[in-house]
Amino acid sequence: MTREKGRSSILYSDALFPILQGRIPGQLIIQYTDVCNALCPQCSMRKTEKYERSKLSREEVCRIIDAAAEQRVQALSFTGGEPFLFLDELIELIQYASFKKIPFIRTGTNGYLFSNWRRQEYVYEIHSLAEKLARTNLRNLWISIDSADPRTHEQMRGLPGVIRGIEIALPIFHEYRIYPAANLGINRNIGGTGRISEKMVQRDDFYREFKEAFERFYGFIIDMGFTMANVCYPMSIPEENAEQGESEKEGTAYGAASDNNLVSDAAHGSNLVYGAASASNLVSFSDAEKVQVFKALMDTIPKFREEIRIFTPLVSLYSLIRQYSGSSDDSLPCRGGIDFFYVDAKEGNTYPCGYRGKENLGKFYELNIKNLKEKRACRDCDWECFRDPSEQVGYLLEAVRNPVKLIRNKTSEYRRLWNQDLLYFHRCSYFDGRKAR
Ligand code: SF4
Ligand code: SF4
């Protein structure tokens, strides 16, 4: 216990050191592969999309990890596609990142391995998986859950039986002190298929439907045995561009099939390089709808925060609500391309994030991230992986740089929520997925 506590404080002093130098602790998301075996309608990497799939080689990823360790990147995520399709190599890479002392190593799965729970060897296989992961310093493992209704989730993913399999697997993971997080991507099916209308009719009804859906969702994952949860904000394409996006989708296997693997994205007037987005109405929301969705989530989270550790910071939701209500100055700009980066599976190139695909920064191991010239203040999307820490840690950075300006620019409600989140995060051991709480 004492040793763990000591280790944590060393980790956090490491993480806080860059702030004193005007930086946020670095984060790198490696899209290890875009191969996937699921059918998610909200994603352009689903297995039915026809395009040439890729996976980064072990050697390439090791070079990236070497460079990340050298540049003192604090958080490293392996994403997909479905990274667990290459499980043995993935575990080796996690082990390598552990050896290189990257403090926050994360990965996730769509859960396909858990849909085989009827097999005789299932329990043995999950023990074996948990044991292998437990030997690494993997800090967080997420498992995607799209809906409070098991059938809806399984149909969306194309993974029959997966919910029961996860329920069986969770206590086994816990035995090895691995506490996976349920990862919800906000969509209109959270409360079950067809429960939330395709277009907002009445603002109050829409808010109420989402509030009920979020409540059902948290209740559902707690009953499943999860002890942690995260929410991915919707990557919407604006209404006026959705039609264009849909036609691109039909014409070029949206999100992947173009010559250069860039995902055409009418939302930013640029190109996505990460295909986990879609023009589908299931995940597309107007700004007015987003305000209601974020309000519903913000009003739901406090009710469940003591029962399950919830990553989503209230201050981030508060800022997004204000941004989509027209007060954009209130949210802190995203650190994508400044302290946070994304490497794609096809070419192994670096981008400011998965959504600014026109800004190819080349190989990560040839970059000196400190010396990058362009430092754009960006709020172009709601990718929570980058927006949430930018908001939270960005506030600390502003506090060090110019505390007077910060106090003047932020509302008292913003400051109250920021403090409340910090206390909560501290009580949750900053979401250490190797601790029960
Ligand atoms: S959301 Fe994930 S699991 Fe689903 S199709 Fe996309 S990459 Fe695959
Ligand atoms: S807000 Fe962040 S993640 Fe989104 S496009 Fe801008 S830099 Fe990228």
Q: How confident is the model at residue 23 (pLDDT cuts 50, 70, 90)?
A: confident
Q: Strand 228-232's sheet: what is its strand order? A: 309-310, 228-232, 181-185, 138-144, 104-109, 75-79, 27-31, 340-343, 350-351
Q: Are 317 and 210 in contact (CB under 8 A)?
A: no
**Domain assignment present for 172:** yes
Number of domains in the chain: 1
Q: Is residue 333 part of a domain?
A: yes
CA 9 to chain centre: 25
**Ligand 1 center–CA 142 separation, angstroms:** 13
Distances from the Cα of 33 to the Cαs of 78, 271, 343, in angstroms?
9, 19, 10
Ligand 2 atom nearest 383 alpha carbon: 3
Residue 209, in any domain of the structure: yes
Looking at all shown ligands, the one closest to residue 382's CA atom is 2
The verdict on residue 304 lying in a domain is yes
Evaluate whether residue 122 is within a structural domain. yes
Has residue 179 been placed in a domain? Answer: yes
Task: Give the pLDDT confidence of 173-223 residue by residue, as tens digits.
Answer: 999 999 999 999 999 999 987 767 666 667 788 999 999 999 999 999 999
Higher-pLDDT residue of 328 and 48 is 48
Q: Is the Cβ atom of 232 under 6 angstroms away from ligand 2?
A: no
Q: Identify which of 34, 37, 44, 45 to mutate to test ligand 1's pocket (most ligand atoms within 8 A of the CB).
A: 45
Percent of the chain with pLDDT over 90: 68
In a domain, 387, yes or no: yes
The model's pLDDT over 230-282, given as tens digits with 9 standing for 90+, comes to 999 987 654 444 444 333 333 222 233 233 334 434 333 447 888 777 777 88
Residue nearest to atom 5 of ligand 1 (CA): 46
pTM of the model: 0.89
pLDDT tens-digit series, residues 344-384: 999 999 999 999 999 999 999 999 988 887 778 898 899 99
- Closest listed ligand to the CA of 268: 2
The confidence band for 19, taking pLDDT boundaries of 50, 70 and 90, is confident
pLDDT band at 396 (very low <50, low <70, confident <90, very high): confident
Ligand 2 test: best mutation among 268, 320, 381, 384, most atoms within 8 Å of CB? 381
- Measured CA to CA, the distance from residue 259 to residue 252 in angstroms comes to 10
Answer whether residue 6 shows pLDDT above 60: no
Q: What is the CATH number of the domain that holds 215?
A: 3.20.20
CA distances from 208 to 203, 204, 214, 302, 316 (A): 9, 6, 10, 16, 21
What is the C-alpha separation between 403 and 401, in angstroms, rounded?
A: 6
Tens of pLDDT along 292-351?
Answer: 999 999 999 999 999 999 999 999 999 999 999 987 667 888 999 999 999 999 999 999
Mean pLDDT of the chain, nearest integer: 86
Phi, psi of 412 (to 5 degrees): -65, -30
Per residue in 415-426, pLDDT (tens digit) is 999 999 999 999
User: What is the model's pLDDT at position 160?
Assistant: 97
pLDDT, tens digit (0-9, with 9 covering 90-100), for 128-172: 999 999 999 999 999 999 999 999 999 999 999 999 999 999 999
Average pLDDT over residues 105-133: 98
- CB of 389 within 6 A of ligand 2: the answer is no
Give the C-alpha separation, 130 to 171, whole Å.
10
Going by alpha carbons, the residue nearest to atom 7 of ligand 1 is 81
* Residues 83 and 290: beta-carbon distance below 8 Å: no
- Residues with Cβ within 8 Å of 54's Cβ and at least 6 positions away in sequence, in order, are 33, 34, 35, 261, 345, 346
Q: Which has the higher per-residue pLDDT, 68 or 328? A: 68
Tell me what percent of the chain is helix, strand and coil, each rounded to the nearest 5. 45, 10, 40
Q: Considering the domain boundaries, does residue 12 fall inside one?
A: no
pLDDT of residue 195: 66
Mean pLDDT, range 25-52, rounded to an integer: 94
CB of 379 closer than 6 A to ligand 2?
Answer: yes
Q: What is the pLDDT of residue 13?
A: 55
The Å distance, Cα 352 to ligand 2 centre, comes to: 7
In terms of residue numbers, what domain contains 213? 24-427
Ligand nearest to the CA of 320: 2
* DSSP at 175: H
H or E element that contains 236? none
